[in-house]
Amino acid sequence: MKNLFLIAIGMALLVSCDQNGNQKQNDSQNEIDSLQTIINQKNDEVNNLMNTFTQIQDGFNQINEAEGRINMLRSNSENNNAADVIKENLEFIRTTMEENKRLIEELQAKAKESSIVSTKLKEAIQKLTQQLEDKNKEIEELQAQLAEKDIEISNLGAAVTNLTEENNEVKASNESYKQLTDNQDAQLNTAWYVYGTSKELKEHRILVKGDVLENENFDKDYFTKIDIRKTTSIPLGSKYAKLYTTHPAGSYSLLKDSNGQYTLRISDPARFWSVSKYLVIRVK
């Protein structure tokens, strides 16, 4: 009878463990699916941005080739059709410049809407804008050189003037975009942390009935605001420390000093703050 009782208890424990294991497996799979969705979204955004970058660079390459053809024709005085061909190439340069300007504005708009905030992305857009401005100056110089040879360039002067004015608008828009992305950088790299005793956390409604940050009614002013790129070490001044918020294992460690008091060291800030931008630590 005693053996039957022990067997029954063992079977009950096995069933309970199996249910808990299935639940953990389901939770893990949901997290993996969520992360994969984020990765796919960012891949699509990167591909979209890269396609536009490629179109712009191809446009500049074609403009350079057209300039090369014009310079070759200028030196060939025996070619009776040189003036007509030069005009055709100048028109091609003008339309391609306008298209590149449009694509740079489109790239700026895509970057504003993108979840990808990168200093390199901002720098790349600024370089394209500068490249457009430099190319405008080249066209102005080319126009002056052709005028010296009495080659009539109808409407080119107006086209260059318009492009220069439009380029100034692009530069202004680029500055606005830079300010926007700087603000986004600051927001994305901002986090809040707090540490306190169980009593203190409860008083500030951070810990309610054993649950942490379960509603929006907690005291946000009790938290310390930080830049996660700069703050990677938080002295806790306590011989006991327990993280109440979720942060990936391996992205941090709790280290004791010579007095046995803990300091939180964040070794991988991007991973550490990926789940939550709020950090709650209980101390004694």
Read off the pLDDT of residues 138-196 as tens digits, 9 standing for 90 and up.
888 877 777 766 544 444 445 555 565 555 655 655 665 566 566 666 777 889 999 99
β-partners of residue 253 are: 265
Q: Are the CB atoms for 252 and 265 separated by under 8 Å?
A: yes
Strands 278-283 and 190-196: parallel
- Please tell me the CATH code under which domain 31-188 is placed: 1.20.1050
Average pLDDT value for residue range 72-86: 70
What's the rounded Cα separation, in Å, for the pair 118 and 127? 14
Name the residue among 74, 95, 96 with its Cα closest to residue 86: 74
Model confidence at 117, pLDDT cuts 50, 70, 90, reads: low
Residue type, 122: K
Position 2 scores a pLDDT of 47
Give 84 or 244, the one with higher predicted confidence: 244
Nearest to 199 by CA among 96, 284, 93, 77: 284
Would the pLDDT of 20 be above 60?
no
pLDDT band with cut points at 50, 70 and 90 for residue 31:
low
- Reported residue count of the chain is 284
Report the mean per-residue pLDDT for the chain: 76
**Cβ atoms 260, 239 nearer than 8 A:** yes
Q: Which residue has the higher pLDDT, 123 or 265?
A: 265
Q: Which of 32-36, 82-86, 198-202, 223-227 has the lowest mean pLDDT?
A: 32-36
- Where b means 16+ CB within 10 Å and e means fewer, 207-224 reads beeeebbeeeebeeeebe
Return all residues near 122 (Cβ < 8 A) that are at least 6 apart.
111, 177, 178, 181
Domain locations along the chain: 31-188, 190-283
